[in-house]
Structure 1
Amino acid sequence: MFVRAVYATGDPALLDAAIRSVNSEGRDLLEERPGYRGAGVFADRELGKLLTMSWWETEEARRNSDEVMRERRKGLLEPFAGTMAVANYEAAVLHEIRHPRHGGGLRVTSMEFDPRDADLVVDTFRATVVPRSESLPGLAETALLIDRERGRGVTGSLFVDRACLAASRAAVAGLRHAAAAKAHAVVVGLEEFEVVHADVRFG
């Protein structure tokens, strides 16, 4: 599958209105598009950050949907979004243990790598990160999204609640260090979010 991520920052006091807009009108717009497989909405209410991710069967479906969403996105996120960035990824690895739920937690790790090492990054995540992550209490899903051409990627780990997310930090720190070294990747960002909505049809 293929993913479009929209990352917006703004006044925390205006975040709830943006979430309501994305979860109602925004979701209706996505549901109408061919090839749509679901979406996730994640928030950092304290700092004022909103991350939305839509999932698509094909790269073409994602590209075609963006022609519609590009015109509507700004309106959906106003007046919250002071900044907004859009990124596209290939969903290289998807591993679901249980369905995430509202109020859970998401950890996002951003990385950069030599585009020639893209397959090494994917193989390392699949062979090392996935099996070692399965033992983490409360883990619901883990995924690797990559942009092979630009040498960029993000890993996302969803937990059933924020307590499990917090409890996993020490174990994941060691795993992140080992996996990044093995994959020749550089970690450039680490963030955590509340799961507002998550409904992706992997199968």
Structure 2
Amino acid sequence: MFVRTVYATGDPAKVDTAIRSLNSQGRDLLEERPGYRGAGIFVDRELGKLLAVSWWESEEARRNSDEVMRERRGALLEPFAATTAVENYEAVVFHRVRRPEAGGGLRITRLEFDPMDADLLADTFRASVVPRLETLPGLAGASLHVDRERGRGMVGALFVDRNALAASRGPQASARHEGAAKAHVTVIGLEEFEVVHADVRGD
């Protein structure tokens, strides 16, 4: 599958307005588009960060949907978003244990790597990192998204609640250290979010 992420920052007091728009008008727009496979909304209410992720069955479906969403995105995120960044990825690993619920937790690990090592990263994540993550209590799922051309990636680990997210920090740090060394990647960012909504129809 293929993924588009929209990362917005703004006034924390206004983030719920954006969430309501994305969960109503935004979801309706996405569901009308061919090839749509699901979406998630994740938020850091304290700092004022919102991450919206949409999943698509093909690169073409994602690209075609963006022609419509690009025109509407600004209005959907008003008056919250002061900055907005849009990125595209290929979802090379999608491992779901259970469906995440609202109020759960998401940990995002941002990566950089030599584009030549994209397959090494995918193989390492699938063979070494996922089995380690599966041992973490409360894991709802894990995914690896890569941009092969830019050498950028994003790992998402979903947990059923915030307590499980917090308890997993140490064990996941160990798995991250081991996986980064094996896959020749550099970790450039680590973030946590509250799950507002997450529903992906996997293969």
- Which amino acid in the other structure matches residue 25 of structure 2? E
Report the alpha carbon displacement of residue 61 of structure 1 after superposing the two structures with TM: 0.2
Q: Deviations over 1:119-143 (max 9, x none)?
A: 1100110011111111100000100
Equivalent in the alignment of 2:90: 90
The secondary structure found in structure 1 opposite 2:8 is: strand
Equivalent in the alignment of 2:139: 139
In structure 2, C-alpha distance between the alignment counterparts of 1:196 and 1:129, rounded to whole Å: 26
Equivalent in the alignment of 2:186: 186
Runs of 4+ in 1 over 3 A off after TM superposition: none
The secondary structure found in structure 1 opposite 2:14 is: helix
In structure 2, C-alpha distance between the alignment counterparts of 1:128 and 1:108, rounded to whole Å: 18
Report the alpha carbon displacement of residue 54 of structure 1 after superposing the two structures with TM: 0.2
Equivalent in the alignment of 1:58: 58
1:25-40 to 2 correspondences below 5 Å: 25-40=25-40
Report the alpha carbon displacement of residue 45 of structure 1 after superposing the two structures with TM: 0.1
Report the alpha carbon displacement of residue 9 of structure 1 after superposing the two structures with TM: 0.1
1:202 matched to 2:190: no
What TM-score, normalized by structure 1, do the two folds share?
0.99
In structure 2, C-alpha distance between the alignment counterparts of 1:6 and 1:98, rounded to whole Å: 24
In structure 2, C-alpha distance between the alignment counterparts of 1:188 and 1:87, rounded to whole Å: 16
- Which amino acid in the other structure matches residue 145 of structure 1? H
The secondary structure found in structure 2 opposite 1:143 is: strand
1:34-49 to 2 correspondences below 5 Å: 34-49=34-49
Structure 1: give runs of 5+ residues left out of the alignment. Answer: none
- Equivalenced residue count is 203
Report the alpha carbon displacement of residue 182 of structure 1 after superposing the two structures with TM: 0.8
Q: Deviations over 1:89-115 (max 9, x none)?
A: 000001011111111000000000000
The secondary structure found in structure 2 opposite 1:71 is: helix
What TM-score, normalized by structure 2, do the two folds share?
0.99
Query: What do you get for the CA RMSD once the two structures are aligned?
Result: 0.4
Equivalent in the alignment of 1:112: 112
In structure 2, C-alpha distance between the alignment counterparts of 1:55 and 1:137, rounded to whole Å: 26
